[in-house]
Amino acid sequence: MRQKTLVSALIHNPDPVLLDEPFSGLDVGSSLVIRSLIQELAVRGKVAVFSSHELETVERVTASSNAGCHLK
């Protein structure tokens, strides 16, 4: 369900993309899909801002992106 909500939010091509805890409550497969989506947004030059308590996931998303990333 969260994936459908995310896709419907992105269909309008917003800039920036703001996501609050996008990985919360997802299974491993769904988390990988969302992670790939965020990385693809960054590669396309979109500003993707997201919050997460899962620092390891945040590091993986930002490290594999070609865009500049800032962790706070």
pLDDT tens, position by position, 15-43: 788 888 888 888 889 888 888 888 888 88
Paired residues of 12 in beta bridges? none
Segments forming the whole domain that contains residue 38:
2-63
Domain-embedded: residue 41:
yes
Domain count along the chain:
1
Residue 16 CA to residue 13 CA, distance in Å, equals 9
What pLDDT score does 72 carry? 47
Domain-embedded: residue 68:
no
Structure pTM?
A: 0.69
Domain-embedded: residue 69:
no
Domain-embedded: residue 72:
no
Residue 44 CA to residue 23 CA, distance in Å, equals 21
Domain-embedded: residue 56:
yes
In terms of C-beta density within 10 A (0-12 exposed, 13-18 middle, 19 or more buried), how is residue 67 classed?
middle
To the nearest whole number, what is the mean pLDDT of the chain? 77
